Structure 1
Amino acid sequence: MHLLPLFTLLATVTAAALPFQKRTDTCSTASASTLASAKAAFTQAKLVPDLVPSFHPTLSIQANFNGKQVALGNSFSATETFMEPAVSFSAEPGFNPAKTKYTIIFTDHDAPGPAAPVLKDFLHLIISDAQPSCIINQARKTLAIYQPLTPLSIAAHRYTLLVYRQPPNYMPPLSVNYLPGSRAAFDLNGYVAQGGLTLVGGNFLGEGLSSTVCAITPGCTQDGKGYSA
């Protein structure tokens, strides 16, 4: 006699929960071919092991500067990258996108020039508490505000976007590199180890100075070192 009301209540609660569950389940993940392409591009560009010791991506990163997409090493000019890029990424298999948060780091391993990168890694941006693009209401925190890309060599720099999964109850490490005037010599791998972060995705672009711009830019060199002797 009392079972029917109970079944009705359960059905109502289940139905009410379905819309949120559906949004979570429809979060897209990267294909195996997309992840394989990213891994191959990082290896070919020698970002492994120059920048990171290993790279086994489990999600894909989409980034654009005013609509122009970053595509695993394509070229940009300084005027195109003056404003902060829009960065999003796919969900990661095996992790609830509504509850898992990530840190985005944008860095230059070739500062001031690839031939003599004495200022590596130069930090351009850090954002914590990011979530996959399917999560509409995010509370991202900018720890290091965007600093425009400023290569000082004709040789292209490898400007690299990395996404790291944060551990539960994550607290970002303290860093002087958050300050706008203290971005050189950022210890990327030390920062990652201190925070317990796990690398899960990456993308990168190439940017250098044209010979015309280099001719009027103080310190620019054509041999890739970045600073004249």
Structure 2
Amino acid sequence: KPFSLSDTQLLVGGQKTLLVGMSRLIDPLVVGRVIGEVLDSFNPSVKMLVTYNSNKLVFNGHELYPSAVTSKPRVEVQGGDMRSFFTLVMTDPDAPGPSDPYLREHLHWIVTNIPGTTDASFGGEMVSYESPRPNIGIHRFVFVLFKQQRRQAVSPPSSRDYFSTRRFAEENDLGLPVAAVFFNSQRETAARRR
């Protein structure tokens, strides 16, 4: 059968579908199983920068040593305006270990009422920062940003263990996230800590 214009259109249409499908496959939040295990799929709409020790920017899937993340990071919200407010949640979905994460998720930090275009230090710390201490295997540490509908009081969780980012968002009318980023970390050897 000779090649026709309709075949080309089909091919182009198929290629477009393939590219859209592949972009989903290479999304680091999907590859790192953050989408699925911690969050539902969402469209990022705000830029969030997470920086440790004023020079270690968090990129999806990169590794940071526990000794580099002992102090709370600077979390910049580069979106919205001073009249919009955001909630930041940080969890470890791999506690106590990635092969049997029966404490999933372990809560590390919650900051609410962060004004847009500022950073987390301008919000209210609801749950204080707990530095990552992975004991078994490689853990993911996930930062999730939600846009609040208004300045609001958020219900504090009863425990750091068995926390659910999805449930927390639902209980506090936060909707889907507007930004998320995660890093990996594992226990350091004594030689590395020196």
Q: TM-score range by the shorter chain?
A: 0.7 to 0.9
Is the CA contact (8 Å cut-off) linking 1:60 and 1:202 kept in structure 2? no
Contiguous gaps of at least 5 residues in structure 1: 1-35, 178-182, 214-229
Q: Where do residues 1-229 of structure 1 align in structure 2 (5 Å cutoff)?
A: 40-66=27-53, 67-92=55-80, 97-133=81-117, 135=118, 139-153=122-136, 155-177=137-159, 183-198=160-175, 199-210=177-188, 212-213=189-190
Instruction: Tell me the SS of whatever aligns to 2:131.
Output: coil
Aligned-residue offset at 1:174: 3.5
Aligned-residue offset at 1:189: 1.4
Query: CA offsets, 1:190-220, max 9 Å, x none?
Result: 111010003100111000124x35xxxxxxx
Instruction: Tell me the SS of whatever aligns to 1:74.
Output: coil
% identity of equivalent residues? 20
Q: CA RMSD in A?
A: 2.0
Equivalents in 2 of 1:159, 1:108: separation in Å? 5
Is the CA contact (8 Å cut-off) linking 2:89 and 2:111 kept in structure 1? yes
Structure 1: 4+ residue segments shifted above 4 A = none
Query: CA offsets, 1:119-153, max 9 Å, x none?
Result: 111000000011233x48x7410000000101111
Q: Which residue of 2 aligns with 1:28?
A: none
Query: CA offsets, 1:141-180, max 9 Å, x none?
Result: 0000000101111x31110000001122522024223xxx
Query: CA offsets, 1:50-93, max 9 Å, x none?
Result: 1112122111210111021101111111110111111112114x
* Structure with greater Cα Rg: 1
The alpha-carbon distance between structure 1 residues 58 and 152, as it changes in their structure 2 partners (threshold 3 A), is same
Taking structure 1 as the reference length, what is the TM-score of the superposition?
A: 0.67
The alpha-carbon distance between structure 1 residues 174 and 145, as it changes in their structure 2 partners (threshold 3 A), is closer
Contiguous gaps of at least 5 residues in structure 2: 1-22
Q: Which one-letter code corresponds to 1:44 in the other structure?
A: V
Equivalents in 1 of 2:88, 2:32: separation in Å? 20
Equivalents in 2 of 1:157, 1:203: separation in Å? 14
Instruction: Tell me the SS of whatever aligns to 1:152.
Output: coil
